[in-house]
Structure formats: structure tokens, C-alpha cells
Amino acid sequence: MLETRAFYYLRHGETDWNRSGCSQGRSDISLNETGRAQARTAAEPLASCGIATICCSPLRRARETAEIVNRRLGVSIVKIDDLIECNWGVGEGQVQGAWYHTWRDGGYLEGAEPYADFIERALGGINEALQHPGPVLIVGHGGVYRAIKTHARLDMGFSLANSVPVRHDPPRTDSPRWTATEIEPC
């Protein structure tokens, strides 16, 4: 179950592999210049959100994004291993296609972390992040965001773009569902 605390999520900035449509998984790819600019742009609206802690994946693209954003925020950055992207085995470096849908539907993919295990691990990483002083900004990956969508019962068809900050608010008596709101640049 997802901790019932408001938090922010930011998918890492663009990499060359994102641009070419390749699945990165655990491949440790750096941001490209567009990704660095995206992170700088994302920092501005986040600066007014009162972020107390940034938690990020240990992969370079997420760490770089967190560090760029933190130049504006000036808070603690905590690396959380369970926020790392899924290991897609033979799918890494490949364009998402039938293999990805088979894996996501619970099918076997050589060398890959099983989908259900990945979602539960990622949820553990998210919940670990939410134990830190908040509001918390989680800087992670598109795959890890599926754990949030699954456990917060958000629209599974929504694809989180690179470096678009999203605020997540837990259910309340006047709003019985989780809500996710993109934070617009100033």
C-alpha cells in the first residue's frame, strides 16, 4: 500500500536513449543537453513547493536530474536503491515493443526482473522515500512511476514525460481518490 502522504515525483531528464526510443532499464545512461535543460526548467516551479528532501534512484540520469534541481532547492538528497529502474534483461537497449507488453502482462523475459516483483520493490522504495522529512520530491524513472499509478489507482494510460514535476495528493473525505497534478513552470 502506498503511504498516504502528499509528495512530488519527477521523472529524470531526457537521455539520448530516450530520444531514440530505447529502453534503458538499469543501463547507467547520462542526461543529454536537453535533459539538463529540462531539469533546470523543472527546478523553478518546484522552488515554491517547500520541498524538504529529494530522494532519487542511484542511476546517473536520476542523480544528475536531482543534483540540477537541487542547485535551486538546496535540500538533502537521499539515494534509495529500490527506486532504481527495472532490470529488463535482454530488453535493455531495445525499442519497446511486443517484449515489453508481454513482460508487463506477467510474461517471462530473459534476465528481466518479473513485473510484479518490480512493482512491489519500487513501491517499497517510494514508501521509504516518504519516511523522510517532507514534502518529498522523488526523482526516478518512468517504470518506477508505474508503481505509483498502480497503487494510487491513477490512469495507467498516462505517460509521464521527462522532467515534468507532478504533485500527488492522497485521498481525503472530500476527494476519495489519489490526485496527480502537473506543476506548471512559472
The catalytic site residues sit at 12, 85
Q: Taking Cα atoms as reference points, which of 39, 27, 93, 34 lies closest to residue 64?
A: 39
What is the C-alpha separation between 137 and 5, in angstroms, rounded?
12
Name the DSSP class of 18: H
How many CA atoms are closer than 13 Å to the CA of 174, on its beta-carbon side? 0
Q: Taking Cα atoms as reference points, which of 67, 88, 79 lies closest to residue 22?
A: 88
Give 165-184 as a DSSP string.
-EEEE--BTTB-S-EEEEPP
8 A C-beta contact, residue 138 and residue 10: yes
What is the C-alpha separation between 27 and 17, in angstroms, rounded?
10
Per-residue HEC secondary structure of 38-51 comes to: HHHHHHHHHCCCCC
